[in-house]
Structure 1
Amino acid sequence: MLVDAAAVPTDRGALIRYVDGLVAALHEAGADLAVVCQRADAERYAKLAPTAAILSGPPAITNRNKRLAWEQTSLPVLARHAGARVIHAPFYSMPLGSGLPTVVTVHDVSSYTDPLHDPAKASFFRSATRTAARHANRVIVPSRATRDELVRVLGADPARIDVAHHGVDHVLFRRPDERETRRVGERLGLHGQPYVAYLGALEPRKNVPNLVRGFAAAVDRLPAPPVLVLAGGPAWDDEVEAAVAALPSRIRVLRPGYLPFADLPGFLGGALVVAFPSRGEGFGLPVLEAMACGAPVLTTHCGSLPEVGGDAVAYTEPDAESVACALRGLLESPDRRAALSEAGAARSQEFDWRRSAEAHLVSYQRAAEG
């Protein structure tokens, strides 16, 4: 099969961890694999999958229309030259008329269900999701919740949808030692000050403004409040700026942007709480990664998040008052945080890329035989 890693966006967020984890696990499973990627990524994929055929795709394409044109014209040619039996398109869109069975990963259907979705992106995701639901031989989704939404919203055929939970890299995402947490804290300018962590894009669906407001209410009466660290890429949620600007001067919020992968265990595992009060997720990889690092996690009951967190995380409603109440309770209870740390680390072991790759291989086989 051929995996189109050239579709990975340049923001290097959760999607790249999905594609990288999957490609490495498919290699370990002995799959007959070809990977097409942007030229700058060829060396990395050659290391992740040493026996795979690494095909040089386009140079970095930041214009979506150009990438989609390449996907429709050049990708099928590369797939046929590589002798691929199946094309896996891991990011919503797919080549039409390739003559090969095609599997598409649809990560969520928020472009249909979230009224706050970025208008500039929503039309692309709606069109690509609708096309995949109608024309792909198989559709892979990362959770049962996403499968159910795809069926409900678009009337997709559930018999053509395969659930393959994401995994987590347990070599990278694991309990950090004191040296790692101290190093990350120094880089962030915390200098030993405790903090609550968030990791993800600053976009409306992630509910960061209510996290900021809830955090402020939760720590307002503490003589030495912790810091709120919002790590991740900037997005288009203007409310984040307004929420931060409205805070009293004694409440400190840091926005360091993207963190190096190597810093994530120290960042997540060193936090008092990792708060991820999203309004809906197709999977919720930051929650799983935080659990693997031994962090107590606070999230919501929305979308797939309970499917990932189970009984090993704390839950809140998305509104600021509920976030404040739940977060205050965790900050006041070291024993509760310690219990969640143990439970989350144990539950994270149920998710790995080997299991995910096995589910993908079943889907590829179904597409080839279909």
Structure 2
Amino acid sequence: MARRIGSRYTAHQILGRGSAGTVWLGEGPDGPVAIKLLREDLSSDQELVGRFVQERTALLGLEHPHVVSVRDLVVDGNDLALVMDLVRGTDLRTRLDRERRLAPEAAVAIAADVADGLAAAHAAGVVHRDVKPENVLLDMQGPLGPGGSHRALLTDFGVAKLIDTPRRTRASKIIGTPDYLAPEIVEGLPPRAAVDIYALATVLYELLAGFTPFGGGHPGAVLRRHVTETVVPLPGIPDELWQLLVQCLAKAPASRLRASELAARLRELLPLLAGMPPLDVDEPDTDEAEEAAEELSGAAPAAGQPVRRRGAVPLVPGARPSDSNRDTHTSMRVPAPDELAGGARGTARAPRTAGAPRPGSARNRAVTRRRRLTLAVAATLLTAAGVATWLTTTDDTPPPPPDMENSAPAAP
């Protein structure tokens, strides 16, 4: 059913749903547009509406071939909407769900496009704060790039900043998608341009490997890994590309490249990657999605149940892993220093046997408890059997005669 958005736009059908609202295919004075209608709880927040209007100039002024441009901002009654360019294609998450991992040349070309878009945004003083595959659109109607890649455009600039107002999110809270959050955000520091570089390097790692370097499982565990763990190496890629990934995934923001430098370095590597097939990488944790539920319930999965592929964890009840628009955006408490100090303490998670529980996980603890219980029961049965044998061999007292067992006591 069509609905009016302000006085100039009409929304015709839903294209997808995200953490901040619903995206519609719409029509405006200049033709088709995409309309992101923000959630009702956001539109009823007067402080947010004021911030929305204040950000109007910055968002409307961001023009770049690798950025989905915002054409208009609509504040009309209960409607709070961003009117954006319509990109004829799909998002990067959908492609990842379909192909699992990309050839290195295509993955690097997409990351270089996004880095170009970030460079323009950072030069304008805008930090994205939520770079992830769901926010990267692929233009299917444009010409193909290196490795058969489609032109990539970054969308949803400013949405995380709009949502993250002082009244909605206290200083002790963080907003973002756990798999892609930079360590400094986890530790409660203000987000700068370097957080986008870290997130983009995480996306590139995921494009190459099929899983994120620190993701999967309960969000709290993911946040801790960003601070304490080192990235697991990816065999089969040129050392130049690996060193670039390591630099942009550095814990210290100052060690990371700027967006313009990253884009240039990635494009320099494209000839080296031409013709390389997708990597054949064993996932270090294949049951992290199950462990998310285990951490919350304390229960282990039943034996023989299928294991779901690891990836960004949907945080909305009922969201399907194949849903490219699943809600992965969340607000969480900043972990305390003692919580961040737990876990691996700076060691990388090595690949393990498929289906085996990760050491220290809820499933691992449940398996250990079951083993201990089995041993205890076995020990009890063995002890009981030994006592019975001892009684049989040591008690020589003959039983009373059958006719005396029920007889009355003799009279004095």
Question: TM-score normalized by structure 2?
Answer: 0.25
Pick 1 or 2: higher relative contact order, CA cutoff 8 A, min separation 6.
1
Larger fraction in helix = 1
Question: TM-score normalized by structure 1?
Answer: 0.27
Which structure has the larger Rg over C-alpha atoms?
Answer: 2
